[in-house]
Amino acid sequence: MSELQRLLREDLRGRTAYGAPQLEVPVALNTNESSYGVPADVVAAIVERVEAVAGSLNRYPDREFTTLRADLAEYLTTTTGVDVPVEQVWAGNGSNEVLQHIVQAFGGPGRIALGFTPSYSMHPIISRVAGTTWVDGLRSADPSDPAQPADRAARPAQTRFDVDTDLAVAQCREHDPHVVFLTSPNNPTGTALDLSVVEAVYEAAPDAIVVVDEAYAEFARPGTPSALTLLAGRPRLVVTRTMSKAFAFAGVRLGYLAADPELVDILRLVRMPYHLSSVTQAVACAALEHRTAMLAMVEAIKAERDRLVDGCAALGLDPVPSDANFVLVGGFDDAAATWQALLDQGVLVRDVGIAHHLRITAGTPSETDAVLAALAAVQTATPRQETA
């Protein structure tokens, strides 16, 4: 053991940092970024906003990011129909920092965070780094468990990845968590939650902050409800969002949440001073002002997502119908080998560690053409094996 490893916190030794491959390839569909650039008129508005604050960068930014919070509140209210006042809004440098604030405030040593895997891999990382005990909960009963009904494995993929309400409630009661993570639409499966799951978990975990991570909410199919509709009367409920996905703003790092005003006030205890720079605030406000242009590509991306589902199914694969900007595709005999075979053809997708599955981001029409052609070539070279 090196000197630095000896000095490192014992609970961090041997752990691997979060990271997705960043490779120079013709078709990169592995990180759920938007393939569409920021429109020129929005770029001009951003430059104007940044120029306006540039002369005062010798001063600290607005610590309360008042204008940005008001703009975010107005955006949520307008797009969801839920009245979200500014006092209920908080923001950070990406949704990861917002999630970190929650865990710092309500997790920590001697406390428990519960999530239902497979789900967003940063939830356990953020929890553990804060010294919180992570519990890897089950989304549905294990089909390999002989004690479970025999038809579990035969269920369609999209229902196998759903959160089983009764099982989630039982796990909440067993572990008595302090933070519970729910994700809708879920990463990496793309599946959305029925709000009855959120309600049941909230009641079953009376000592927990219940976080519904809605990073991909703007891509949900019509009729998919937001957990924002459940906020009233539930002071322990938090709904997180991001501008990285639907706003094509991954490079800005702006995440936010809506919650009870008292919970928002508590988060001030753990945030770093002046944590959102003047430039970040200006850029985000410019994007929100031009949200029609920024969100114009959402429907196009959803169309390519659905093309991926249909195209993969036509190839004999098992795509999971998605409410996000990506598709989890099953039916590969060897996911790792397929990942490499696709990379050899210049197509980068994500191996998320689920046996026989790969996750593919929805991109432009030409990128969809490329990934489907590459998959067809791989399938021809390696006939599909049936998987449970």
Judged against a pLDDT cut of 60, whether residue 351 lies above it is answered with: yes
The domain boundary, picked from 272, 291, 310, lies at 291
Residues 332 and 216 in one domain: no
Where residue 338 sits, what CATH number does that domain have? 3.90.1150.10
Kindly report each contact of residues 260-263 with a partner whose C-beta sits within 8 Å and lies 24 or more positions away, as own/partner: 260/88, 260/231, 260/234, 260/235, 260/236, 261/85, 261/87, 261/88, 262/235, 263/209, 263/235, 263/236, 263/238
Q: What is the pLDDT of residue 151?
A: 41
Q: Tell me, yes or no, whether 364 lies in a domain.
A: yes
Q: What is the pLDDT of residue 330?
A: 96
Within a domain: residue 8? Answer: no
Q: Note down the domain range covering 277.
A: 41-291
Residues 235, 256, single domain; the answer is yes
Whether 349 and 282 map to the same domain: the answer is no
Question: In whole angstroms, how far apart are CA 337 and each of 92, 302, 379?
Answer: 38, 28, 12
Burial of 158 (0-12, 13-18, 19+ CB in 10 A): middle
Contact 242, 122 (CB under 8 A): no
Kindly state whether residue 367 falls inside one of the protein's structural domains: yes
Distance from C-alpha of 123 to C-alpha of 184, rounded to nearest angstrom: 14
Q: Name residue 326's beta-bridge partners.
A: 361
Task: State the sign of the Cα–Cα–Cα–Cα dihedral 44, 50, 52, 54.
Answer: negative
| 3-state class (DSSP) for residue 146 | coil
Shared-domain flag, residues 286 and 357: no
Query: Do 179 and 320 share a domain, yes or no?
Result: no
Q: Note the helical H segments in the chain.
A: 3-7, 40-54, 66-80, 95-106, 122-129, 157-160, 165-175, 195-204, 261-267, 278-289, 291-294, 298-314, 335-344, 365-381
Report how many domains make up the chain: 2
CA 89 from chain center: how many Å? 18
Question: Does residue 136 fall inside a structural domain?
Answer: yes
Last residue of a domain, one of 270, 291, 312: 291
Q: What 3-state class would DSSP assign to 378?
A: helix
Could you tell me if 47 and 189 lie in one domain? yes
Residue 75 vs residue 380, higher pLDDT: 75
What is the helix, strand, coil percentage profile of the chain, to 5? 40, 15, 45
One domain for residues 27 and 54: no
> How much is the average pLDDT of 157-165?
76
Residues 122 and 258 in one domain: yes
Domain CATH for 117: 3.40.640.10
Task: Tell me what the pLDDT averaged over the chain comes to.
Answer: 92
Residue 357 — φ and ψ, nearest 5°?
A: -125, 150
Q: Over 80: is that where the pLDDT of 277 sits? A: yes
Distance CA 83, CA 321 (A): 30
Task: Report d(CA 25, CA 9) in Å as an integer.
Answer: 37
* 4 within domain boundaries: no
For residues 325 and 303, the answer to whether their CB atoms sit within 8 Å is no
257: nearest Cα among 68, 98, 87: 98
Which DSSP state fits 350?
B
Residues 106 and 178 in one domain: yes
pLDDT in tens, 50-105: 999 999 999 999 999 999 999 999 999 999 999 999 999 999 999 999 999 999 99
**Shared-domain flag, residues 193 and 144:** yes
From 234, 265, 291, the end of a domain falls on 291
Phi-psi sector, 32: left (phi>0), alpha (psi -120 to 50), beta: left
- Same domain? 347 vs 217: no
192-202 confidence digits (pLDDT tens): 999 999 999 99
Burial of 249 (0-12, 13-18, 19+ CB in 10 A): buried
Q: How far is CA 96 from CA 21, 115, 142, 146, 272, in A?
A: 19, 15, 29, 38, 14
Query: Does residue 388 form part of some domain?
Result: no
**136: amino acid identity, one letter:** D
In a domain, 13, yes or no: no
Residue 67 C-beta-side C-alpha neighbours within 13 Å: 17
Q: Is residue 11 part of a domain?
A: no
pLDDT band, residue 380 (cuts 50/70/90): confident
Helix axes 66-80, 278-289, angle to 10 degrees: 30
Considering the domain architecture, whether residues 109 and 252 belong to the same structural domain is answered as yes
Contact 141, 204 (CB under 8 A): no
Residue 188: the pLDDT is: 96
